[in-house]
A and B are shown apart, each in its own frame.
Chain A
Amino acid sequence: SQQGEEDPQALSIQEGENATMNCSYKTSINNLQWYRQNSGRGLVHLILIRSNEREKHSGRLRVTLDTSKKSSSLLITASRAADTASYFCATEYFQIQGAQKLVFGQGTRLTINP
Chain B
Amino acid sequence: DGGITQSPKYLFRKEGQNVTLSCEQNLNHDAMYWYRQDPGQGLRLIYYSQIVNDFQKGDIAEGYSVSREKKESFPLTVTSAQKNPTAFYLCASSIDRSTGWTQYFGPGTRLLVL
Query: Which residues of A come within 8 Å of B, CB atoms?
Result: 3, 30-31, 33, 35, 40-45, 48, 50, 88, 90, 92, 98-107, 109
Contacts and interface: CB of A to CB of B under 8 A. Distances in A.
B107 interface: yes
Contact of B42 (A42, A45, A106): A106
A101 B33 contact: yes
29 contacts: A30-B100, A33-B100, A40-B108, A41-B108, A42-B90, A42-B92, A42-B106, A42-B108, A43-B43, A43-B92, A43-B105, A45-B102, A45-B104, A48-B99, A48-B102, A88-B43, A90-B103, A92-B100, A98-B56, A99-B31, A99-B50, A100-B101, A101-B45, A102-B101, A104-B35, A105-B42, A106-B41, A107-B41, A109-B40
B58 interface: yes
| Interface SS of chain A | strand
Contacts, number: 62
B70 interface: no
A48 B94 CA distance: 14
Contact of A107 (B42, B90, B103): B42
A98 B51 CA distance: 12
B105 A44 contact: yes
A24 to B, nearest CB: 14
A45 B3 CA distance: 13
